[in-house]
Amino acid sequence: MAIRKDSKGRFLRRGETQRKDGRYCYKYVDAKGRTRCVYSWTLTTRDLTPKGKKAGPCLRELEKGVQRDLFDKVAPDDMTVYELALHYTETKTAVKQTTRAGYKTVLNYLAKDEFGSRRIRDVTSFEAKRWLIDLQNVHGKRYSSIHTIRGVLKPAFQMAEENDLIRRNPFNFELATVLVNDMVAREALTPKQERRFLEFVANDKHYQHYYDAFFILLNTGLRISEFCGLTVDDLDFEEGSIRVNKQLQRSSDMRYYIERPKTESGVRYVPMTNAVSASFKRVLASRPRPACEPVVDGVSGFLFLDKNEMPRVALHWQKYFQYAVAKHNRIYKEELPKITPHVCRHTFCSKMARKGMNPAKLKYIMGHSDIEVTFNTYTHLGFDDVKADMLGYESGAA
């Protein structure tokens, strides 16, 4: 799927296009399988209607109405939980492919589980909670998996409530009040751990080939899919910047595709330090020249290619980190913790916070849509991080 933007440079969702005359169009398939379109001169509520054109609802508002109408036309009185989830996900036409893959996983589970065959009007809040508890305690599902399942069912039942199919949403409760959260918090590496890991990689005959990639991830805060999507044209050594405007993904059926960043804030330029710049230059110098340059949705020139001359994806780098840490821990008594690409991102954010970077600036670099996410990093700082500052304040006051 190619990345599409409107005349203002904004990313367009699935089904959205902008015509040559500036008017926006949303294409969808109705309940009878027919292709339909709705049009608007504006994309969002913040847009102004072009001069001389008739004002009306923006395209995104029209999309919501379309999704609601689609749901209304396929909602029988005896609808099951599985059918409700299926129809709800079918109305979510503007989601990313990764989200759609998550929907498919949930639907596959509900199709097999007895709870999926229950009529939605018979499901009570007590039964919903009991089912989720059984998923964790009896069937051994992790909190994160249950969180995903409930992430589909809660809004699906909410839609059913708003359409008067049920009296109240049985999933309208906080999951953490019902289940034990067994998710392991991602801890940032300490400066000592980061140095030890990079020194080990730099001196290991096998893993030293990945040193520059590891160093870049630890010193830019890039999401791994953003990192995998980097191309030669995204690097500007004169300006010292990295252009981040896409993500490279690979589906379960091994199909490569390009997605826009996680949020609109994800489109950004990340500064390069001199050390990061040097790492990128070494990456370019050692980049293989494939017989046929791989092209994914019109994008080519990817920095990192595998043995099949295809772009490396997140799974590659997760394994490289896993194996490198495992080898280190087999050799040395002082073990390193689990390191993943996201731990690198979290480490970078914590490192910048520790150095006193302004939260608003750090929010931009990280591509966070909400500054609260950035502030959460500051809460992960420990005693050693704040001790020096406290002593400095004391000496300053004296």
**238: CATH:** 1.10.443.10
Please check whether residues 288 and 314 belong to one and the same domain. Answer: yes
Please check whether residues 57 and 195 belong to one and the same domain. Answer: no
Q: Which residues contact 88 (CB under 8 A, 6 or more apart)?
A: 71, 152, 155, 156, 159
Asked, for residue 89, whether it belongs to a domain, the answer is yes
Bridge partners of residue 17, in order along the sequence: 25
Bridge partners of residue 256, in order along the sequence: 250
Please check whether residues 169 and 198 belong to one and the same domain. Answer: no
Look up the CATH number of the domain holding residue 150: 1.10.150.130
Please check whether residues 243 and 338 belong to one and the same domain. Answer: yes
Please check whether residues 49 and 137 belong to one and the same domain. Answer: no
Asked, for residue 396, whether it belongs to a domain, the answer is no
Please check whether residues 224 and 367 belong to one and the same domain. Answer: yes
pLDDT at position 304: 95
Quick one: DSSP state of residue 43? Answer: S
Q: What backbone phi and psi angles, to 5 degrees, belong to 391?
A: -65, -35
Asked, for residue 10, whether it belongs to a domain, the answer is no
CA distance 36 to 67: 12
Please check whether residues 44 and 94 belong to one and the same domain. Answer: no
Please check whether residues 223 and 270 belong to one and the same domain. Answer: yes
Q: What backbone phi and psi angles, to 5 degrees, belong to 368?
A: -75, 140
Asked, for residue 323, whether it belongs to a domain, the answer is yes
Domain interval for residue 53: 16-73
Mean pLDDT per 10-residue section of the chain, whose length is 398 residues? 74 88 89 84 90 91 81 67 91 78 92 94 94 93 91 93 86 90 74 96 96 97 95 95 93 86 82 96 94 92 94 96 97 94 92 86 86 62 58 52
- Are 293 and 301 in contact by the 8 Å Cβ rule? The answer is yes
pLDDT at position 186: 61
Please check whether residues 235 and 134 belong to one and the same domain. Answer: no
Give strand ranges (E) for the chain. Answer: 16-18, 24-29, 35-40, 235-236, 241-244, 247-250, 256-259, 268-271
Instruction: Tally the domains of the chain.
Output: 3
Return the amino acid letter for 221.
G
Please check whether residues 269 and 300 belong to one and the same domain. Answer: yes
* Residue 263 CA: distances (Å) to CA of 59, 231, 235, 293, 302: 19, 20, 21, 29, 22
Look up the CATH number of the domain holding residue 59: 3.30.160.60
Whole-model pTM: value is 0.67
Asked, for residue 56, whether it belongs to a domain, the answer is yes
pLDDT at position 373: 65
Please check whether residues 231 and 380 belong to one and the same domain. Answer: yes
> How many other C-beta atoms lie within 10 A of the C-beta of residue 398?
5
- Are 70 and 34 in contact by the 8 Å Cβ rule? The answer is no
Catalytic positions, please?
A: 223, 262, 342, 345, 368, 378
Asked, for residue 393, whether it belongs to a domain, the answer is no
Asked, for residue 7, whether it belongs to a domain, the answer is no
CA distance 38 to 28: 9
Question: Closest by alpha carbon to 145, among 95, 179, 119?
Answer: 179
Q: Which of 127, 152, 177 is the last residue of a domain?
A: 177
Q: Which of 120, 152, 177 is the last residue of a domain?
A: 177
Pair of tokens at residue 187? 């801890």
Asked, for residue 49, whether it belongs to a domain, the answer is yes
HSE-CB at 204 with a 13 A cutoff on CA atoms is 20
Please check whether residues 66 and 195 belong to one and the same domain. Answer: no
110: exposed, middle or buried (Cβ count in 10 Å: 0-12, 13-18, 19+): buried
